[in-house]
Structures are given as C-alpha cells and as structure tokens.
C-alpha cells in the first residue's frame, strides 16, 4: 500500500481532506456518497478536495478499475482508494501523517474511521488541524434507537474523553442541529466547538424535463420504496401498513440488501399481504437511474427512522412523484405544499389515511399534485443559498478553529 502525495499538488486554495468509508464509483452505502460527490461538483473549483476512502463498495470486492494506493482524479477531486488493512489504527495514523491538508472533513459520528481519527488527534499522534464533522443523520432518534446499547455508552465515553471537542459540526438542518446539541451539548457548547447549518447539496439539474408520471386511476396506485434494505429505512413498517389498504396497489422495492436477516423478515411480511397488494423486488440501481424509476410511480413510500437530508426524497420530487415519509427527515409540511405527507412514526393511522387518499386520488388531482411536486423539488435544488452555506461552512471552520488552535 502506497500513500504518497502523488497527484496531490500544493496550490493557493485551501486543501480539504475528506474521509468517508465509501465513495464513487460505489453507491450501495447510500446518501453520504452522493452528498460528498455533489459537494465536490459544486465546490471543487473553490477548494482542493481530496478524498480517502475504501477501495470497494459496501459489501463488495475491490473495484477492478481502481489502483489502490495511488491518488486518482474523480471529477473535481483527487481520491485515494485504500484496502481495509490501511484503516487499522497504526496504519491509519501513518496515512494521515503522510498527507498535507488544511482541514479534515469527517462524514460520520460512529464510523471506525472517525473514531480512530479523533482518538489519534486526542493523543497527539496526528497534526492539530481544523476538523468539520457531519453526522449524516446518525444522531436522529430513530437512528440512535438501533444498536442503542452500543451507541449510547460510546457517546458518554467519547464526551468524557473529549474526542469531539474543538471541532466544527455540520448540521444539515435545524432539526439536526438540535440533535447534535442534545447528544453532545457539553462538547459543543465549549468555547472551541461550533455547530453550523449547511444543508446537503443536491446534484446539478441539467435541464427541466417534462413530467412523465403514470396515469392515475381511482382505486389503483403504483408505489415505490427506493433505499438500502436495512432496519433504519423501515421497509417492514411500509409492508405492515400496506396490508390494511383497499384498492389495487403495485409496490416495487429497489435497493441493495444490506441486512439479509432483516430482508428475510420483510419477505415473511410480503407473503402475508392480501392479493390486492402486489410486491416485487427489483434489485439495486445506480443513483443515475433514480429519476427515471421515480417517474414510473405515483408515490414514494419511505417511513425512514431518520435522514439528515434524504437525497431520494428530492429525486422523487424532481421526477413528480409524491412523497409519504416519516417526520424523521428535514422534509416537513409536505401536505401543506400538496406534494405529499410527512407523518410521525408514532401515528400509523396517519400513514394509513395518506395511503387511502393516494389510492382514491383521481387523475386530474394527481396530475396537479405531481406538477407541484416537481416544481417544489426543482426550486429547492436550484437555491444558490445552499451552495453558499456549504462554502461558508469550510471558510468559517478554517478561520475560526485555526485561530483558536494558536
């Protein structure tokens, strides 16, 4: 394994070293990959962005086309793909110690890469540089409810050790800001820790496309679930709720199977559904196909336990697909906008009411809602304030934390 600075030239721009468990061309790890890829596309001309990541997609073999150990150009970034052994503590210390950067950008609270990096900083084994940490939805109540007997003790220990002090937190919304303060308040409220709201950046929209959503008959609905198949995404709840719906419903499931035991429990639920609910598993798709897939359905049903952003929600909206999701995402007040529903996980009857409304919806009403959904999504994606907030995030972290470290 080589970790030289090959392809890592020094320039006047600030150098941001991004650490993420999986990156392009991978896609199975979901939203964080797209978040970082979009950030590179939008800010790659403002900063030198360098990414250290795994040499394989989630659960896969190494990429055949990537040279592990050499810096490679991917879009506007330089990417270093490393094998699993490079991320063990002693090897990871050598990798970080060999690189030149102005700011370290971490994309997880609980990832072993983040934990190891903050531990090495705490014991003085890597340079004291400004750090931006993005929780990526890991601190939502729904996400913390999974493996809580590991996560809660870890948070307490990390706060005691001061691992998360003197860094800059990126919150994607006010909701995530409150989650950070709730879980790391003692660390965040210190004189040298900060929380800055910078929403995840959407992909560039090349052009506005004409609506291609399907015709809508009363009593018939085409519904889709598109995400990783894991407990956090809550597919089992979607299946349970669909079992109580009258009318003809086609429910298609797309996404990589991350948790096979969980998928088996979902298959058992599928087998118990009444004949009017037809379910098909369509496999995993690349992010580039998401818009095409969403345009074939009336509703994206996504009762997730927690999303800091939810790229798939934005993609569905831009394709004119209505949304039914939980209240554990930043996408709120969807019913008021007439583009969908956001429902508390504690209120299954409200999910049921939304599904019944969708199934009984007529073609003219659905067509108008679909048009509103696409306009809503495109307006969000084209908001220049999103890019400016992310740009300011890094500039403020560089200047504020650098000043405090002196």
Chain segment 302-329, per-residue pLDDT in tens: 999 989 899 999 999 999 999 999 999 9
Q: Say what the pLDDT of residue 190 is.
A: 52
Among the listed residues 342, 339, 335, 341, the one whose alpha carbon sits nearest the alpha carbon of residue 366: 339
Q: Say what the pLDDT of residue 192 is.
A: 52
Q: Please enumerate in sequence order all residues whose Cβ is within 8 A of that of 258, keeping only pairs 6 or more positions apart, or say none.
A: 28, 58, 59, 228, 229, 230
Burial readout 249-277 (b: 16 or more C-beta within 10 A, e: otherwise): bbbbbbbbbbeeebbeebeebbeebeeeb
Q: Say what the pLDDT of residue 3 is.
A: 37
pTM of the predicted model, to two decimals? 0.86
Q: What confidence tens digit (pLDDT) does each residue in 125-166 have? A: 998 899 999 999 899 888 898 888 999 999 999 999 999 988
List, in order of start, the domains of the chain with CATH numbers.
15-198+384-405 (3.40.50.2000), 220-381 (3.40.50.2000)
CA pseudo-torsion sign 345, 188, 112, 16:
positive
Q: Say what the pLDDT of residue 288 is.
A: 87
Q: How many C-alpha atoms does 154 have within 13 Å on its Cβ side?
A: 15
Helix H, strand E, coil C: the string for the chain is CCCCCCCCCCCCCCEEEEECCCCCCCCCCCHHHHHHHHHHHHHCCCCEEEEEEECECCCCCECCCCCCCCEEEECCEEEEEECHHHHCHHHHHHHHHCCCCCEEEECCCCCHHHHHHHHHHHCCCCCCCCEEECCCCCCCHHHHCCCHHHHHHHHHHHHHHCCCCCCEEEECCHHHHHHHHHHHHHHHCCCCCEEEECCCCCCCCCCCCCCCCCCCCCCEEEEEEECCECHHHCHHHHHHHHCCCCCEEEEEEECCECCHHHHHHHHHHHHCCCCCEEEEECCCCCHHHHHHHHCCCCEEEECCCCCCCCHHHHHHHHCCCEEEEECCCCCCCCCCCCCEEEECCCCHHHHHHHHHHHHHCCHHHHHHHHHHHHHHHHHHHCCHHHHHHHHHHHHHHHHHHHHHHC
> Mean pLDDT of all residues in the chain?
91
Q: Are the C-beta atoms of residues 239 and 353 closer than 8 Å to each other?
A: no
Q: What confidence tens digit (pLDDT) does each residue in 201-243 have? A: 998 875 556 678 899 999 999 999 999 999 999 999 999 999 9
Q: Is the peptide bond before 273 cis (omega within 30 degrees of 0)?
A: no
Distance between CA atoms of residues 338 and 63, nearest Å: 43
Distance between CA atoms of residues 240 and 77, nearest Å: 43
For 254, phi then psi, to 5°, come to -120, 140
pLDDT beneath 70: ranges in the chain: 1-12, 186-193, 206-210, 401-406
Joined tokens for residue 92: 């990871």
Q: Say what the pLDDT of residue 157 is.
A: 94
């Amino acid at each position: 394994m080589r970790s030289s600075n090959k392809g890592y030239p020094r320039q006047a721009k600030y150098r941001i070293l991004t650490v993420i468990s999986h990156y392009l061309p991978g896609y199975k790890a979901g939203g964080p990959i797209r978040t970082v890829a979009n950030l590179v596309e939008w800010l790659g001309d403002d900063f030198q962005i360098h990414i250290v990541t795994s040499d394989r997609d989630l659960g896969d073999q190494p990429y055949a086309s990537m040279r592990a150990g050499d810096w490679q150009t991917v879009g506007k970034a330089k990417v270093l793909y490393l094998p699993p052994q490079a991320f063990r503590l002693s090897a990871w210390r050598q990798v970080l110690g060999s690189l030149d950067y102005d700011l370290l950008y971490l994309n997880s609270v609980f990832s072993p890469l983040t934990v190891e990096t903050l531990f090495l900083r705490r014991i003085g084994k890597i340079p004291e540089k400004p750090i931006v940490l993005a929780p990526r939805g890991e601190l939502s109540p729904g996400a913390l409810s999974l493996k809580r007997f590991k996560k809660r003790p870890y948070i307490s220990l990390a706060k005691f050790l001061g691992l998360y002090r003197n860094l800059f937190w990126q919150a994607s919304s006010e909701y995530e800001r409150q989650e950070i303060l709730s879980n790391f308040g003692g660390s965040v409220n210190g004189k040298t820790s900060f929380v800055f709201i910078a929403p995840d950046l959407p992909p560039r929209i090349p052009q506005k496309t004409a609506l291609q959503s399907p015709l809508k008959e009363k009593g018939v609905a085409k519904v889709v679930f598109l995400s990783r198949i894991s407990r956090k995404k809550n597919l089992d709840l979607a299946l349970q709720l669909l079992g109580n719906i009258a009318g003809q419903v086609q429910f298609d499931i797309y996404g990589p199977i991350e948790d096979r035991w969980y998928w088996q429990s979902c298959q058992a639920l599928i087998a118990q559904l009444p004949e009017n609910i037809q379910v098909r598993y369509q496999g995993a798709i690349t992010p580039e196909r998401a818009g095409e897939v969403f345009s074939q359905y009336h509703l994206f049903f996504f009762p997730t336990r927690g999303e800091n952003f939810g790229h798939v929600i934005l993609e569905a909206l831009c394709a004119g697909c209505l949304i039914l999701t939980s209240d554990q995402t930043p996408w709120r007040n969807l019913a008021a906008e007439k583009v969908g529903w956001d429902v508390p996980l504690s209120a299954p009857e409200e999910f049921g009411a939304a599904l019944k409304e969708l199934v009984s919806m007529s073609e003219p009403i659905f067509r108008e809602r679909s048009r509103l959904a696409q306009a809503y999504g495109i307006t969000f994606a084209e908001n220049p304030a999103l890019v400016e907030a992310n740009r300011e995030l890094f500039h403020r972290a560089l200047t504020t934390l650098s000043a405090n470290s002196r």
